[in-house]
Amino acid sequence: MEATAQTDSLVEQGVSATKVMVMEQPGEGPRVRMVLQQCMGAQLMVQPPDEGSPPQFVEIRRGLIIYICFLRGATKTLTEKMARTALTVRLSESDDGKLVSVLDLPGDVLIIPQATLGGTIKGKVMQYHKNIAKEEGLQLYSEFVSIFRKTYERNDKCQTTGTVVRYGTYGNRQVFSCQTNGPYTHLIEM
């Protein structure tokens, strides 16, 4: 509120609105951060080994690895927007060399919750003050995963080709391996 009033006042004073912006309030900045990598295959542990039970893994073939982190202020709406973006942004190389979306490829998707992505460096340590509360993060993460699963389930091409969506366990240590012909690492923030 105060911030807007200040901007208005500056504009009245003849300061171009395009030249001035008010400092972000604490907690502003990106609310969802995503790192995307292309892969030819990846394996992720979703259940650590436990007294006699071996660890459980999920696996994908060619497709997209999505590291996702929710920060304070992240909402369901923003989460949906981010999921749609990841599904439709043209970053996957098709067989004829064109860039298409992972959905159009169609390629597998591996979603990895990655709270560390919300870190801010301070001196020699990372701080995670901007991360969302764990419970809220889990809700948004589940929502994010759900959009991918539904989209793939309803997509004929995905069904015919057997492409899959796999995802990590929120809060777990993400033990995994991947193989890629070029990760083409991208950062998308909202």
Question: Of 70-78, 133-141, 149-157, 180-188, which segment contacts a second copy by CB under 8 A?
Answer: 180-188
- Residue 110 in contact with residue 148, Cβ under 8 Å? no
**Binders of a second copy among 34-73, rule CB under 8 A?**
35, 67
**CB half-sphere exposure, 75, CA atoms < 13 A:** 4
Distance CA 154, CA 147 (A): 11
Q: Which helix (H) or strand (E) holds 2?
A: helix 2-12
Closest to 86 in 3D by CA, of 153, 44, 145, 133: 145
In the bound state with a second copy, the residue whose beta carbon lies nearer, of 75 and 88, is 88
Question: CB under 8 Å to 130, separation ≥6 — which residues?
Answer: 27, 29, 71, 72, 118, 120
179 binds a second copy (CB under 8 A): yes
Six-digit token string for 70 = 């929710």
* Per CB under 8 A, 127 contacts a second copy: no
Which of these ranges, 52-60, 135-143, 155-163, 170-178, lies near a second copy under the rule CB under 8 A? 170-178
Using CB under 8 A as the binding rule, whether residue 174 contacts a second copy is answered as yes
Binding mask 2-31 for a second copy (x = CB under 8 A): -x--x--xx--x-x--xxxxxx--------
Residues near a second copy (CB under 8 A) are: 3, 6, 9-10, 13, 15, 18-23, 33, 35, 67, 85, 88-91, 99, 101, 112, 114, 116-117, 119, 121, 124-126, 173-188
